[in-house]
Amino acid sequence: MNYTLDGFCTDTRAILKAKPLADALPQIAARLSRLLANPIFVSQTFHDAMPPGRTVLHHDPELDFYVLGHVQEGGKTGKPHSHGTSWAVYGNAKNVTEMTEWRRINSEKEDHAELVAANKYNLRPGETRAYGPGMIHSTAHPAKAWVVRVTGTDLDNLPRYRFGKQDKILEQV
C-alpha cells in the first residue's frame, strides 16, 4: 500500500507529540521521503502545467505545522535565510534543489552578518533534509522543481532572518 498524505500527517503529529524536536525532525524527513516515493501522491499534488507558487496541502491546527507544495521556477537562486524559531523539512518530488547551509562567523550582536558556506549538496527526487530553528540555508533551482516543505508554523507570521547586500556572504570552495 502506498504511503499517503493523510498517513504522513498522522505520523508527523504523533512524532512531534512524542519526541523532542531534534529527534523528531529526522524522523519526519524520513517519512517525507517515503511520501515522495508515492507516484500517486506526486501526480495528485503536481502537474507539468502548474505555475510557480505555493499550495497548502495540510495544516494541523493543534500543533500548527504545515505541509506545503511548491512549484519552484527554474533559474532561481534564493538568498540565505533562516526560519527563525521555527523549523522546516524540505523534500524534492521532481528535479533538483541545490542546497547551501551557511554558518555565521561574526557576533550576532553586530548589525551585519558575515556568513560562510558550510555545506553544499543537491536534493534529488525523494530526498529530504531537516533544518532546525535558526539554521541558515539557501536554495537554488537550475530547472523547474516540485518541492514539498513541512514547516513548524506559518512562516509568514514569524520573524525570520534574511541576509542581503549589506551582509558579507563568503563561498568556501
Encode the chain (173 residues) as per-residue pLDDT tens digits. Answer: 799 999 999 999 999 999 999 999 999 999 999 999 999 999 999 999 999 999 999 999 999 999 999 999 999 988 888 888 899 999 999 999 999 999 988 887 887 778 889 999 999 999 999 999 989 999 999 999 999 999 999 887 765 565 654 555 544 42
Instruction: Give CA–CA dist 28/9, Å, rounded.
Output: 9
Predicted pLDDT at 143: 96
Overall pTM surpassing 0.85 (yes/no): yes
Domains in the chain, please, with CATH? 5-170 (2.60.120.10)
Neighbours of 73 (CB within 10 A): 13
**What pLDDT is recorded for position 113?**
78
* 103 DSSP assignment: E
Please tell me the predicted confidence (pLDDT) of residue 172: 40
Pairing of strands 76-77, 145-151: unpaired
Contact 92, 146 (CB under 8 A): yes
Q: Tell me the three cell numbers of residue 33.
A: 521521503
Q: What is the pLDDT of residue 173?
A: 29
Per-residue model confidence (pLDDT) at position 64:
96
The whole-number pLDDT of residue 164 equals 56
Cβ burial, residue 18 (10 Å; 0-12/13-18/19+): exposed
